[in-house]
Amino acid sequence: MAALGQGISLGRLGPVPIRLDPSLFVVLGLIGYLQKPNPTVDDILVWVFVAAFCILIHELGHAMAFLAFGRKPSVLLYGFGGVTSAEGGMGPWASLTTSLAGPFAGFGLGGLILLAGLTVGRPGADSLVSAAYLYGLWACFGFGVLNLLPILPLDGGAAVSAFLRGVRGPAGEQLARYISIAFALLLALVALRFGQIFATLFGAMFAAQNYQEVKRYRERPQREQLQAAYDALYGPRPADAAGAARPLLATKASADLKEVAAEVLVWAELARGDGAGARAALGQRPGRHPTDHRPVGRLAEAAVALAEGAGAPAVAVLAASLDAGEHGPPDVLFPLLERAGVLPDLWNRLGPDGRASLQRMHAARR
């Protein structure tokens, strides 16, 4: 995984850079406010400080394991915890060890806190030191146990995935996803039964994330085929992209893949000079769900209109699309603009971003 570059730098602990996103304090503060009736400001501040320290130790456990395997880790503390990443991949057994190192570092800290309480004596029940003692035990042991649930992307799920990949090869990743879905749904149901809304939402979210990854894995052949179509579209013979894109529209691929495949087919038909075929390809784009509010790309649609002789209206849409950051295959777009004689008009309509985008595409033209 790539090293992280987000958050505020806290410097280094030995060779490990540590960064902090303020969202950690926001989330921990919210948890501190909700975890007991009528908490005082002091209660919340003590909880935030203790929990953040326990999370740091957890992440440093991952970091030490990365270092042991010759990787250069970096730590980011944010949101509901943190993440430790490092450049370069690792084998499944090294990944298993690294995944488990975080929770067990937390258990080690929790053991020291417990030992201190047993040796020195537990602080007075109403003191902030007592609150820090109990919060430390909960953060170290509670968070650690939750993190060991066999649900990706939690450490327990990552450990199960690494183990299964070591035993079954790449297919083990998918089995880990199914296990994650089952346990995430179980977590959501149990949490709902006991009125734990946050845990219910987390379980549902993890189940949905893993289901999406399962779908992506199932669609891997179609994604590889779509990549081949893209490579052809931006290669020396863009018209050849039609041969890879058209069959995808007849499969059970997701609507997202079909939308991209249809757009590739539009450009491939334009490369062949078949305006009618490009218009038909536009009609093969699947409809979007009413809740899908992503912007719809209009560059290909405007290119088809330009090929059909729409002139100035098509140029206006082209300019708006390029200004919005859209791009198309230069070896298809520029011949179309030149044949229509609209390149000067398009240039005059473009803003700075659109002109820069057009220049980059022109530089990439074969």
Q: What is the pLDDT of residue 3?
A: 39
Label residue 297 by pLDDT band (50, 70, 90): low
pLDDT of residue 2: 37
Mean pLDDT taken over the chain: 87
Q: Which is nearest to 233 in space by CA: 241, 225, 244?
A: 241
| Interval 156-185 mean pLDDT | 94
CA dihedral 49, 43, 45, 148 (to 10 degrees): 40
Least confident of 47-56, 207-216, 294-303: 294-303
Structure tokens at 116: 């201190």
Give the mean model confidence (pLDDT) for residues 261-287.
89
Residue 198 is assigned to a structural domain of this protein: no
How far apart are the C-alpha atoms of 348 and 361, rounded to whole Å? 17
Which range is least confidently modeled, 2-6, 45-49, 99-103?
2-6
| pLDDT (mean) for 42-69 | 94
Is 291 part of any domain? Answer: no
The residue out of 117, 133, 148 marking a domain boundary is 148
Pick from 120, 148, 176: which residue ends a domain?
148
Query: Does a structural domain hold residue 41?
Result: yes
**Predicted pLDDT of residue 6:** 67
Question: In the listed set 116, 148, 180, which residue is the last one of a domain according to the structure?
Answer: 148
Q: Is there a contact between 333 and 318 (Cβ–Cβ < 8 Å)?
A: no
Is 294 part of a structural domain of the chain?
Answer: no
At 112, is the pLDDT very low, low, confident or very high (cuts 50, 70, 90)?
very high
Residue 211 confidence (pLDDT) above 90: yes
From the number of C-beta atoms within 10 Å of its C-beta (0-12, 13-18, 19+), residue 102 rates as buried
Calpha distance 144→111 (Å, rounded)? 12
Q: Is residue 204 part of a domain?
A: no
Distance CA 309, CA 322 (A): 20
Query: What Rg do the C-alpha atoms of the chain give, in angstroms?
Result: 27
7 vs 3, more confident: 7
Among the ranges given (2-11, 74-83, 313-322), the one the predictor scored with the smallest mean pLDDT: 2-11
The verdict on residue 111 lying in a domain is: yes
Q: At what angle do helices 352-363 and 330-340 cross, to 10 degrees?
A: 110
- The answer to whether residue 119 is domain-embedded is yes
Going by C-alpha positions, the residue among 233, 68, 83 that lies closest to residue 158 is 83
HSE toward the beta carbon, residue 193, CA cutoff 13 A: 6
Supply the DSSP symbol for 9.
E
40 in any annotated domain: yes
How much of the chain exceeds pLDDT 70, in percent? 94
- Residue 5: pLDDT above 60? no
Total count of domains within the chain: 2
Return the number of other C-beta atoms located less than 10 Å from residue 184's C-beta. 26
Q: Is the pLDDT of residue 263 over 70?
A: yes
pLDDT for the residue numbered 327: 83
Among residues of the chain, what percentage have pLDDT more than 90?
A: 45
The range of the structural domain enclosing residue 142 comes to 1-148
How far is Cα 352 from Cα 334, in angstroms, rounded to an integer? 19
- d(CA 133, CA 314) in angstroms, rounded, equals 68
